[in-house]
């Protein structure tokens, strides 16, 4: 069922129209600076509606009726991944050029300072998977992208991991929406279940990032 019994808003009515790509891209671009923006929820919701629409094949539409617009899953995936990588790059460049002013701001935040230290050590070892994990954690993308620029990390050390993180995050979000739409249709339940899975992934990523690193074994 795609409509809420004729009352309220249907899931597809909220995502119908080409504007959804601009909304997704803008939300993802800005949430590196404003982590409260629901970019992940928007991606999952749009993907759920797109998946449900693709399975219906407009079979129930009256003859001659115009098919309702539904976003493309492939375009959503490309839009989300590209916007995520560009947002990371913008945050990195902004803090990289911010000089001492950004450095003082970061120094006042214990969370940013600790994240900077861990990020520097991780990238120095070539283990940029922290960047990928942080993309799922609440505000983790902001901490990592701003921290990489503020500490002067080389772009070639940060950008490849940022692009990988963007691709993995976008694929996960669109994939969750696809599954929700296939199993539950374009209903609010079909969107809420994938969103819950998105939040669970974020909680797990935050736990892994915050877990203290194992102490090195003493030399024999």
User: pLDDT tens per residue, the chain (220 residues)?
Assistant: 343 333 334 555 555 667 889 999 999 999 988 887 889 988 998 888 888 776 654 444 444 434 456 678 899 999 999 999 999 999 999 888 765 566 566 566 666 666 656 655 555 554 578 889 889 988 888 888 887 887 777 888 889 999 999 999 999 999 998 988 888 776 777 778 888 999 999 889 888 777 655 444 454 4
Inside any domain, residue 16: yes
Query: Is 5 inside any structural domain?
Result: no
Q: Is residue 137 part of a domain?
A: yes
In a domain, 148, yes or no: yes
Is 93 part of a structural domain of the chain? yes
Structural domain containing residue 16: 11-29+39-56+71-210
pLDDT at position 55 is 62
Q: Is 147 contained in some domain?
A: yes
Is residue 42 within 8 Å of residue 23, measured between CB atoms?
Answer: yes
Cα gap 29→34, rounded to integer Å: 9
Cα 143 from Cα 45, distance rounded (Å): 26
Q: Looking at residue 146, what is its pLDDT? A: 81
| Residue 119 lies inside a defined structural domain of this protein | yes
How many domains, the chain? 1
pLDDT at 116: 59
**Residue 142 belongs to some domain of the structure:** yes
pLDDT score of 174? 94
């Amino acid at each position: 069922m795609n409509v809420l019994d004729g009352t309220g808003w249907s899931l597809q009515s909220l995502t119908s129209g080409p504007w959804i790509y601009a909304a997704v891209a803008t939300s993802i671009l800005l949430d590196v600076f404003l982590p409260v923006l629901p970019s992940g929820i928007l991606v999952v919701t749009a993907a759920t509606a797109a998946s449900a629409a693709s399975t219906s094949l407009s079979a129930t539409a009256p003859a001659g009726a115009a098919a309702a617009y539904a976003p493309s899953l492939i375009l959503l995936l490309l839009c989300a991944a590209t916007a995520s990588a560009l947002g990371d790059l913008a945050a990195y460049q902004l803090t990289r050029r911010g000089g001492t002013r950004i450095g003082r701001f970061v120094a006042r935040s214990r969370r940013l300072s600790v994240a900077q230290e861990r990020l520097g050590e991780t990238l120095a070892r070539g283990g940029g998977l922290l960047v990928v994990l942080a993309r799922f954690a609440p505000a983790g993308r902001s901490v990592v992208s701003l921290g990489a620029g503020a500490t002067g990390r080389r772009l070639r050390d940060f950008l490849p991991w940022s692009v990988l993180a963007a691709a993995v995050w976008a694929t996960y979000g669109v994939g969750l929406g696809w599954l929700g739409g296939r199993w539950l249709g374009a209903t609010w339940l079909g969107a809420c279940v994938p969103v819950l899975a998105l939040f669970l992934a974020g909680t797990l990523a935050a736990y892994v990032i915050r877990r203290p690193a194992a102490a090195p074994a003493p030399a024999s």
